[in-house]
């Protein structure tokens, strides 16, 4: 699972499931529609850089009744955490939506290609999602309550989620679980909020992200 992003969390981003998708399609153009615009504070002693090879985000989506689930991964392309007086103050995580994979690390199949199209994340138009941490309040020990702005498909909403953050010797290890309502980011496919008579094809609006992030000086 190394080199995979599972806050989008703090997530991204990202990713509900598609039911009844199998087989494979022609290989798609994997070039991003636009280059990353995120600049890191390299050399600034207050910032530590996310190691994208050791960080992973896992996504999980399900049917409305929870009987059918899909899971997979997405890569963090870059990111950083700001540390001051031994405490996490802020940070930014950029997610490359072109790297969406299913649980078998498949990146070129009907499920993944459907997640990338306009029914879901419109990856060609919106190649990156971001999580911008604005606050990390202490709960007890390494346990934090993180507040952040999550951007998917160019839409930004605030999110709050629990996280465990260990800081030691210039290395930060963070784990977090974030659950979002995908429809807030205009991911409406088979949502009962927008479509009638879906019966057992209705997909849950909730998408879960498990994030494991390692950042180093």
pLDDT of residue 26 exceeding 60: no
pLDDT, residue 169, reads 85
pLDDT, residue 34, reads 58
pLDDT, residue 33, reads 42
pLDDT of residue 31 exceeding 60: no
Residues 41-80 have pLDDT tens digits of 998 989 999 999 999 899 998 888 777 888 999 999 999 9
Give me the number of domains the chain comprises: 1
18 in a structural domain: no
153 in a structural domain: yes
Q: Of 22-26, 36-40, 128-132, 168-172, which range is least confident? A: 22-26
211 in a structural domain: yes
152 in a structural domain: yes
CATH number at residue 99: 2.40.128.110
pLDDT, residue 177, reads 96
How far is the C-alpha of 42 from the C-alpha of 10, rounded, in Å? 21
186 in a structural domain: yes
Residues 153-210 have pLDDT tens digits of 999 999 999 999 999 988 999 999 999 999 999 999 989 899 887 777 899 999 999 9
Q: Is 33 exposed, middle or buried (0-12, 13-18, 19+ CB in 10 A)?
A: middle
77 in a structural domain: yes
pLDDT of residue 215 exceeding 90: yes
More confident residue, 4 or 215: 215
172 in a structural domain: yes
Print the domain residue range for 186. 47-216
Beta-bridged to residue 176, according to DSSP, are 163, 211
DSSP string, 113-174: HHHHSTTTT-TTT--EEEEEEEEEEEEETTEEEEEEEEEETTEEEEEEEEEEEEEETTEEEE
Residues 85-119 have pLDDT tens digits of 889 999 999 999 999 999 887 888 898 999 999 99
More confident residue, 36 or 6: 36
pLDDT, residue 8, reads 36
Q: What value does the mean pLDDT of the chain take?
A: 84
pLDDT of residue 32 exceeding 60: no
More confident residue, 30 or 132: 132
pLDDT, residue 64, reads 82
114 in a structural domain: yes
More confident residue, 142 or 108: 142
């Amino acid at each position: 699972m190394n080199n995979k992003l599972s806050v989008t969390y703090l997530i991204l981003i990202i990713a509900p499931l598609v039911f009844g998708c199998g087989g494979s399609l022609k290989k798609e153009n994997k070039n991003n529609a636009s280059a990353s615009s995120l600049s890191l504070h390299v050399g600034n002693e207050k910032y530590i850089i996310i190691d994208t090879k050791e960080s992973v985000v896992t996504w999980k989506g399900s049917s409305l009744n929870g009987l059918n689930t899909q899971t997979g991964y997405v890569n963090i392309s870059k990111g950083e955490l700001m540390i001051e007086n031994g405490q996490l103050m802020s940070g930014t995580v950029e997610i490359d939506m072109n790297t969406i994979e299913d649980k078998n690390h498949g990146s070129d199949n009907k499920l993944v290609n459907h997640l990338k199209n306009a029914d879901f994340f419109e990856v060609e138009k919106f190649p990156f999602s971001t999580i911008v941490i604005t606050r990390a309040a202490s709960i007890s020990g390494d346990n934090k309550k993180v507040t952040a702005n999550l951007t998917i498909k160019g839409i930004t909403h605030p999110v709050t989620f629990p996280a465990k953050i260990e800081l030691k010797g210039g290395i930060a290890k963070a784990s977090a679980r974030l659950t979002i309502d995908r429809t807030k980011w205009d991911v409406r496919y088979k949502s009962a909020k927008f479509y009638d008579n879906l019966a057992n094809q209705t997909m849950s609006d909730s998408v879960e992200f498990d994030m494991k992030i390692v950042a180093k000086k």
